[in-house]
Amino acid sequence: MRFSSISRLLKASGFALVLHLGAAALGYAQPADPITDLSQRFQQYSRQALTEQLYLHLDRPAYVAGETLWFKAYAVDGTYHRPLSLSKVAYVEVLDAAQRPVLQAKIGLVQAMGQGSFELPAELATGRYVVRAYTNWMKNAGPDFYFQCPITVVNTQQAWPTTAPMAGPAYDVQFFPEGGQLVQDLQGRVGFKITDRQGRSVAASGTVATASGATVATFQTLRNGLGSFLLTPSAAGGAYTATVRLPGGAVITSKLPAVAEQGFALRVTDKSHTELSVAVQAKQTRPAEPLRLLAHTDQQVAVAAEANLLNGRATFTINKRQLRPGITHLTLFSGRQPVAERLYFRRPTPSQLLAVQGSASTQVAGLRSQVQLKVSTARPAALSLAVYRLDSLATSTPADISSYLLLAADLRGFIEDAGYYLRDSSAVADQAADNLMLTQGWRRFRWDDVLAGKVPAVAYPPEVNGYLLQGRVRQSTGAPAPGIPAYLSLPGHSFWFSSATSHADGLVQYELPQAYGLRKLVLQTNPALDSTVRVELLSPFTVGGGPAAPGLPPLTRRWATSLNERLLQAQVQQAFPTSPRYTAVPLDTVAFYGRATEHYRLDDYTRFPTLEDVMREYVPGVLVRKRKDGFHFLVTDRLRHLILQENPLTLLDGLPVFDLNQLLAFDPLKIKTLDVVDSRYLSGQQMFEGVVSFRTYKGDLAGYPLNSRALLEEYELLQVPREFYAPRYDTEALRRSRLPDLRNLLYWNPAVNLTANNPQTLDFFTSDQAGRYLVVAQGMTPDGHLGSTSFAIEVKPAL
């Protein structure tokens, strides 16, 4: 799909992507000065590279094998974080430590939102897993920009895994000079990050020494294994080495990045609550060119400024009000060449977030007692809400919708406790956020492409109407077979049929709107015309890519109680399973060809012994002719008063039939209805001489033999949403039931739709599990305000 098509689509859906330079919109009417030209090129590139993001609200951070994982999906545009109804399908996976999928599902998105669930297999091994989600359009950006969230899964039937020996060092120490490089004699800040081999952050301290052993800097992590220090490298210092002292007394050394003889050093500091300073130092022998600074947030230009070096120095002052909440990229250009880049995080103000108010009818509830929740917002909003038990396994704090979309989504890897950087506005939190920005250098594009006016490559179109099923037609040698018609069928009472002609690479694709559940799928070519080709299905899921989940922490005694409780809970769940309930999904009962010209219910007529007799006796719209190669159908086009001269598209329960001799030998008593379309019908790139469609009583082909070269598969289309079930104890008899109730998740509601200032009351019943439970509600408004709230309640046995 070309970008012009996407632009028309976005306009039709009411979404407009607008970029601003400061307060003035950019244009192309007049020849631009260099800084305006740079901004305009970036603006043009951004318009052609619409960013789509997904956020998944998971019901809790830790699970027992055999439990159900519930989630709500929110699709937004990457600039304003407004709901974006571009894609109609989200692909959700659970990946193991080797980044192999253990569960996969296709989730339908309606008005930019969707919901789904996974039944975690009882045999799933204990470990850390990653829930990953993306759309077909997001595949163009790659796995690093997919939604990814680590979770813990515990198999109570297995021993806690021991840390297996791994190749490589036990700890990883990385250093990141501000702006991108260390330059001789120019002072710069150096960020650092320290993790163990499992990817977990480590608190540490250390020193930096010259090649001769002289200490020139000291450092200490501030939070989450991150920190920074100042360093003025010199030619005499040689190669710099850091000595890191780790918990437990271990000491390791690590080299700092090489020092450049020439280049630019960047220093970003907060001058005040309203101003940001970007100081530049330069050391170069070539003539100084004007410096240009471009600041953009979510690919929206915020500031474009120009300055000249004076004695090797220049300073840009930025009004913070010009910066959108979230991560701003500050890119420094010398002439037209990017020479340094830095990220800056602006914490959103309360007015820029959605204020979600939540309260419970009681702070302390008894076992099997009712709890009422009140949730409200000052704006219309769509929320999801979960209530789960806090135990030793559920200690991690996943990013909420605000911290994910405004922070974590634009950074490489997993961000430990991303919500901290939004919750805390202290000076320590500001420094911690700056350390996080120092250790990142991440963007969705290459400046060479921007400056050259290169159109972003698009290999994956957005699924604007429904699921795009793809296959490939190959010759017997394995080479792609272009120009071959291929036919897709989903046989059944409400069948689906579509045809496509293979591209130069053999690719065929079919759009399947409102296709849910497990269906029999048949993909084939016409064996009478293409007897040597074969068709294969292509998976819509991405293979590999993205960061691996951080490892499990070592098992400690405090986990023992939680593990025992989870074991008992899993045993109860297996002994007393509940039947799943499913939400009704849209079902199109009208055939793809619409209303037939002629419709016959065969039971209304005399039953004949052969299908040939049936067609000849009371289907006047179809003539049966026998030639040297066997039987043929000729449809009579009554409107134009002519007989179409080629076989029509002939279907049985939606399956195309190419051998009419075989069809006419089929038992007519198995046929329930017959439809005839008496005019030419266009499907894909093929024109058919009418349509003749037979249906059996059960829609299951009634034993009709398939083409031996056809691909037949039980195929999972969009997941049918399940309804969350929890027992209610409305009566004394139910409260006294001896059936154990050890639920860890008390309540899950993915569809809390609020109007402005109109509290909604929700209720649930507690279980037999005493403890502390967390209520989490989060969501967004139609205009892109993000928000969440959480609070705890206690569940205790009655005294």
State pLDDT tens for residues 330-354.
Answer: 999 998 889 999 999 999 999 999 9
Q: What is the pLDDT of residues 427-445, one digit of tens each?
A: 999 999 999 999 886 566 6
Rounded-to-integer distance, Cα 790 and Cα 778, Å: 9
Residue 792 Cα distances to 81, 147, 432, 798, angstroms: 29, 27, 27, 19
Band (pLDDT 50/70/90 cuts) for residue 4 is very low
pLDDT digits (tens, 9 = 90+) for 295-338: 998 888 999 999 999 999 999 999 999 999 999 999 999 988 89
Strand partners, 95: 101, 130
Percent of the chain with pLDDT over 90: 65
CB 436 within 8 A of CB 110: no
What mean pLDDT do residues 125-148 have? Answer: 94
- Average of pLDDT values for 358-367? 96
Question: Could you tell me which residues are beta bridge partners of residue 228?
Answer: 191
Residue-averaged pLDDT of the chain: 88
Q: How large is the average pLDDT for residues 250-258?
A: 93
Going by pLDDT thresholds of 50, 70 and 90, the confidence category of residue 168 is low
Whether the predicted pLDDT of 780 surpasses 70: yes
Question: Would the pLDDT of 392 be above 90?
Answer: no
| pLDDT computed for residue 237 by the predictor | 79
Question: Rounded distance, CA 403 to CA 353, Å?
Answer: 11
- Average pLDDT for residues 656-672, to the nearest whole number? 93
129: its two tokens? 């897993």
CA distance 662 to 687: 23
Mean pLDDT, range 536-540, rounded to an integer: 95
Half-sphere exposure of 153 (CA within 13 A, CB side): 28
Mean pLDDT for the stretch of residues 224-251 = 92
Decide the pairing of beta strands 649-652 and 691-696: parallel
Instruction: Give me the phi and psi of 414, to 5 degrees please.
Output: -95, 135
**Is the model's pLDDT at 602 over the cut of 70?**
yes
pLDDT-derived band at 549 (thresholds 50, 70, 90) equals confident
If DSSP states are collapsed to H, E and C, what string results for 248-313?
A: HHCEEEEECCCEECCEEEEEEEECCCCEEEEEEEEECCCCCCCEEEEEEECCEEEEEEEECCECCE
Q: In 298-444, at which residue ranges do the beta strands (DSSP E only) sit?
A: 300-307, 313-319, 326-334, 337-346, 356-360, 364-366, 370-377, 381-390
Which of 124, 116, 216 is closest to 161 using CA atoms?
Answer: 124
pLDDT exceeds 80 at position 370: yes
pLDDT-derived band of residue 618, with 50, 70 and 90 as boundaries?
Answer: confident
pLDDT of residue 558: 66
